[in-house]
Structure 1
Amino acid sequence: MSQVAFKERSVDCRDPQAADAAGLRPLAFLPGRRACRTWFALGLLAATAAAAVAAELPAAPPRDDSNSATEERLKRDVEYLSSDELEGRGLKTKGLDLAAEFIARKFQAAGLRSDLYQGTPYHEFRLYSAARSGAVQSLRMEIEGSEAQTLAPGDDFTSLMVTTGKAFRLPVVFAGYGITDPESGYDDYAGVDVRGKAVIVLRHAPFQGPAGRNHSAREAGHHAYIHTKLRNAQAHGAAAVLLCTDQRHLTGATSAQGAAVDPLLEVELSAELGLKPLPVVHCRRSWISRWIQQVLGKNLEELEQRIDATQGPASSELPGAKVAGEVAVVRPGRIVRNVVGVLEGQGATADETIIIGAHYDHLGRGGWGSLALSDKDEIHNGADDNASGTAVLLELARSLARRERRRRILFIAFAAEELGLYGSKRYVQDPLIPLDQTVAMLNLDMVGRLREDRLTVYGTGTAQEWPLWLAQAASASALRIVPEPSGFGPSDHAPFYERGIPVLHFFTGFHPEYHRPEDDAERLNIPGMRRITQLLMELLERLDR
């Protein structure tokens, strides 16, 4: 379930006066309103037409529908979807694609038609990262009288900040550690003019010795931050920053050639932290050292030692040197996929559609959305959220494929719910079946932790029939329904309700493992998932009348 919040506004359709005051009428959408629908008239029409249905469904292969066999299928599906192999089904993981392909195979095996989008079950859409003007894609070091040297992106440098413009060619200044500290009198920018130029800046801070000369540990930490260095460079008018790892912070490991390993940063620094967009790259130390040696005739390590020894700057312009780069104007993103399968209906109401949905994505290795207290890059398997709902979706597909249906049933496994309901939003923007032919949407999100037989159902006020039908369906599975009338909420039913479609969201409640690495399959109530599946089957019998 997403942590995205929605405003709450609903009408309880069980109250005829409230429904009438809200302008809600059976079988009608009123423009601009959250409409309720009723199926009573359609139910009579469908019952009349049912007797005329001549087509026979193909015989389904025998299947064990005992409670134990159903639970075994649910357990097998949910354990795979929440396994470490799928890496938490996050947006940046291969596991998200593995999950989509798994669901597609299960839809096909159940007998659903899945050649819906250019012969595939995949409703694809692109998710873009935050608005991005561009990253430095090429970098060239020029020295007057010498051949320019080109650095390879990813191997020799990484781009750390998006920037405007398409290209730059700038004079270069070595600015030591890029620190200005008025309290101690230390200033790497003293005596050099960096306006409109690129500055080479060492990472971290000068070595202070055992007595901590000039800087306290707190001050050194503050000045060592990359954001502080960038803000200081911008304050002095620098037009680009070339970061270089200082000698003391190279890793202790060595390459096959015996050189110290110099890992490149792979981050995207945000302008939201008070930084103006400008080219910021992290270069291999070997390139910067070679450049300074060639222009100044000095060794980079010797310059560092001089700064450490004197606690004074060793900044200098690099005469005749320029750095040139090109910026690719790009909006990086990723193709993600809703997985869709359909069972067609027969008879007078065959063109009407019931949607059953569940999101299959989760948080990957944490990051945004995670409530974990540590940042250990742990896999968040999302067994309850929402491998549980996806497993129930698959079991419903298997069961409903074996029954006659008067209405079309569309099964959708949504992607990118955790980021803000993107999968369901994209579907309602580009529906496979027109929304005016969609009579209801049932959403399964976090249905794996049934406790004390209590099942919360949101959206009970979005159609007049829901309370009665739910009570009837729940009695067969001995579940206690906790009704919530509102059709809004932080899950994939909300975009459908926004379009006036009656919805229900089934939910077994929050728990301490929500959005944490501990949300694993062994904590799930598999018999509870089977009972919820049975309730859905009972409800769908009424909805499909």
Structure 2
Amino acid sequence: MKKMLLVAFLLTATALISNAQKFKKLPESKIEQSFVEKHIRFLASDALLGRNTGEQGNNAAAAYIAEEFRSYGVLPVNGSYFQKIPFVKYDQPQNAKITVGDSTLFVNSDFLLLNGGGVNISSAPVARVGYGWVSEDGSYNDYENQEVTGKVVITQIGTPDTKSFREMMSVSAQKAAIAKEKGALAIIEVFTIPAPWELLVSNFGDGRLEINTNESDSFTRILVNAATAKRLGNETLSIQSDELSKKPTPSSNVVGLIKGTDPDLRSTYVALTAHYDHVGYREPDGEGDDYIFNGARDNAIGVAGLLSAAKSLAQKPPKRSILLIGFTGEELGLKGSKFYVENPLLPVKQTVFNLNIDGAGYNDTSIISGIGVQRTGAEAEITKAVEALGLKLLNDPSPELGLFDRSDNVSFAALGVPAPSFSPGFTAFSEDMMQYYHKEADNAEGLDFAYCTKFAKSYAYAARLVANKTTAPQWIEGDKYEEAGEKLYQH
């Protein structure tokens, strides 16, 4: 038995040494700490004011990424490194109120106007319709046996299947479209999430960004504070509101291309992605106050990894072509990645894999955390890349959080593209991580740059190994996105 164990150990050690020797011959082995560190320090500097989507610091970050692409020899797509996204900034109206009998609800303190405006609804009957949701297959229908024509529909936020607040907000417009189709005058969603109303106002009140779809936004959609929702009653109410203030506030995805070397495989793409936006800054409390959310961990580390892969793969291109995308608007609800897959610059059906970087930080520098790696057909290659740097791959360390569906990779996955996320090492969302997540403390100072460099190298090497696979990765049997993959690629 001891002899068998010794043989197994020697075989494993030999394989690891061989992998490491092969890795040292590749460009990504030459990625230096100074290269990774300079990108993180710039992107997380105070000068970029937290890279809030559509603001000056965000645009500066986009320009920086594009110029790095250019310097490596990465090609623009359709003549540009920028995919412009027509965001619009909304501010709440100065005058807006909901009246129920002798009770009045006021904008900001009691409710937010998310859509519509310039409205005067007087003494309209109320219809309470659960979530106000109808499933695509019709198996769930809150409007069954409900007549809502000429009424104001009141619903609970989200749907029966949504779990996170981001998911709940992402279906809000779809619920409004259903209510409008049913003949309702307006829809009011009740904010029942155990989170401060003030947090919602800061994110969805003045300064809210949405993509301009050129569709009519005249249908009134309102989110009301649960603490005051009971005052809405069950009979009639009135809504008077000025229009929302709107201002064009464009931002861009940053896109580049490295052409593959294999004549049969170069027409297919491995997409490497990371979001570069963060959450901006708050008003300072006084001199010396740290008021900028620099986003070093979320996601300057990821962008440095993307740039490292771009440089390495441009120096020695793999068999398949590489599509590089720095996404904007991730912090707004994955808006940049959703815009890309709905308006792709290269055919999604020719994109065979997406390896996304995102994360809230790290609490274990001996590992890389893979979100969905086991599900998406490239576990062997990604494991090999991680181990070449002396690290270990930990798959889905916090499955209860549903992280796979909460980052930009899911925009590709929903269409059928195998799309895991590659994250800095964490075993759980511990207190030492959460002290930085969307906090002013998430600065470059205090980062383990030696680990960040290993992270960047392993990501670049993983991308190379996947892009050199003759057979494209596929979803494992029974995965919830397998059917979408079959449809996309028509296996």
TM-score (norm 2): 0.55
Aligned-CA RMSD value: 3.5
In structure 1, the gaps of 5 or more residues are 1-62, 137-159, 168-265, 280-326
Q: Which of 466-475 and 481-490 deviates more?
A: 481-490
Structure 2 distance, partners of 1:166, 1:430, is 33
Question: 1:470 deviation in Å?
Answer: 2.4
Question: 1:538 deviation in Å?
Answer: 2.7
Matched, 1:121 2:81: yes
Matches within 5 A, 1:94-105: 94-105=56-67
Question: 1:490 deviation in Å?
Answer: 1.3
Equivalent in the alignment of 2:457: 534
Matches within 5 A, 1:59-208: 70-91=32-53, 93-114=55-76, 116-117=77-78, 119-129=79-89, 164-165=117-118
Given that residues 295 and 442 in structure 2 are in contact (C-alpha distance below 8 angstroms), is that contact kept between their aligned partners in structure 1? Answer: yes
| Equivalent residue letter for 1:470 | I
Matched, 1:344 2:296: no
Equivalent in the alignment of 2:224: 272
Deviations 1:385-441 (A, max 9, x none): 001101111111111110032211011000010110001111111111111101100
Quickly say closer, same or farther: Cα 1:393–1:267, change in 2 above 3 A.
Answer: closer
Structure 1 distance, partners of 2:250, 2:358, is 23
Structure 2 distance, partners of 1:389, 1:540, is 14
Quickly say closer, same or farther: Cα 1:351–1:95, change in 2 above 3 A.
Answer: same
Given that residues 448 and 525 in structure 1 are in contact (C-alpha distance below 8 angstroms), is that contact kept between their aligned partners in structure 2? Answer: no
Equivalent position SS for 1:345: coil
Quickly say closer, same or farther: Cα 1:268–1:102, change in 2 above 3 A.
Answer: closer
Equivalent in the alignment of 2:159: none
Deviations 1:305-332 (A, max 9, x none): xxxxxxxxxxxxxxxxxxxxxx777644
In structure 2, the gaps of 5 or more residues are 1-25, 96-111, 121-204, 209-221, 233-237, 469-491
Deviations 1:52-72 (A, max 9, x none): xxxxxxxxxxx99776x6110
Equivalent in the alignment of 1:544: 467
Structure 2 distance, partners of 1:447, 1:529, is 13
Quickly say closer, same or farther: Cα 1:92–1:353, change in 2 above 3 A.
Answer: closer
Equivalent in the alignment of 1:506: 422
Equivalent position SS for 1:461: helix
Equivalent position SS for 1:409: strand
Q: Which of 300, 306, 310 lines up with 1:397 in the alignment?
A: 310
Given that residues 380 and 518 in structure 1 are in contact (C-alpha distance below 8 angstroms), is that contact kept between their aligned partners in structure 2? Answer: yes
Structure 1 distance, partners of 2:383, 2:27, is 27
Given that residues 366 and 379 in structure 1 are in contact (C-alpha distance below 8 angstroms), is that contact kept between their aligned partners in structure 2? Answer: yes
| Equivalent residue letter for 1:98 | A
Quickly say closer, same or farther: Cα 1:329–1:80, change in 2 above 3 A.
Answer: closer
Structure 2 distance, partners of 1:366, 1:330, is 21
Equivalent in the alignment of 2:476: none
Equivalent position SS for 2:32: helix
Deviations 1:82-104 (A, max 9, x none): 00000001135310111111111
Given that residues 338 and 411 in structure 2 are in contact (C-alpha distance below 8 angstroms), is that contact kept between their aligned partners in structure 1? Answer: yes
Equivalent in the alignment of 1:292: none
Quickly say closer, same or farther: Cα 1:454–1:405, change in 2 above 3 A.
Answer: closer
Structure 1 distance, partners of 2:275, 2:321, is 20
Structure 1 distance, partners of 2:264, 2:207, is 56
Structure 2 distance, partners of 1:89, 1:268, is 15
Given that residues 487 and 504 in structure 1 are in contact (C-alpha distance below 8 angstroms), is that contact kept between their aligned partners in structure 2? Answer: no
Deviations 1:321-348 (A, max 9, x none): xxxxxx7776444211100111111311
Given that residues 447 and 529 in structure 1 are in contact (C-alpha distance below 8 angstroms), is that contact kept between their aligned partners in structure 2? Answer: no
Equivalent in the alignment of 1:476: 388
| Equivalent residue letter for 1:472 | K
Structure 1 distance, partners of 2:322, 2:70, is 15
Deviations 1:254-306 (A, max 9, x none): xxxxxxxxxxxx96998735797646xxxxxxxxxxxxxxxxxxxxxxxxxxx
Matches within 5 A, 1:386-535: 386-446=299-359, 449=362, 451-464=364-377, 466-484=378-396, 488-508=404-424, 509=426, 510=429, 511=433, 512-535=435-458
Deviations 1:338-360 (A, max 9, x none): 00111111311110000000000
Structure 2 distance, partners of 1:474, 1:337, is 31
Equivalent position SS for 1:404: coil
Given that residues 290 and 440 in structure 2 are in contact (C-alpha distance below 8 angstroms), is that contact kept between their aligned partners in structure 1? Answer: no
Q: How many residues in Structure 1 have an aligned counterpart in Structure 2?
A: 303
Given that residues 291 and 440 in structure 2 are in contact (C-alpha distance below 8 angstroms), is that contact kept between their aligned partners in structure 1? Answer: yes
| Equivalent residue letter for 1:505 | S
Given that residues 476 and 535 in structure 1 are in contact (C-alpha distance below 8 angstroms), is that contact kept between their aligned partners in structure 2? Answer: yes
Given that residues 91 and 244 in structure 2 are in contact (C-alpha distance below 8 angstroms), is that contact kept between their aligned partners in structure 1? Answer: no
| Equivalent residue letter for 1:379 | I
Matched, 1:365 2:281: yes
Larger relative contact order, structure 1 or 2 (CA cutoff 8 Å, min sep 6): 1
Structure 1 distance, partners of 2:85, 2:72, is 25
Structure 1 distance, partners of 2:450, 2:363, is 9
| Equivalent residue letter for 1:460 | V
Deviations 1:114-160 (A, max 9, x none): 2x25x32111112345697x778xxxxxxxxxxxxxxxxxxxxxxx9
Structure 1 distance, partners of 2:207, 2:255, is 34
Question: 1:79 deviation in Å?
Answer: 0.5
| Equivalent residue letter for 2:457 | Q
Quickly say closer, same or farther: Cα 1:91–1:353, change in 2 above 3 A.
Answer: same
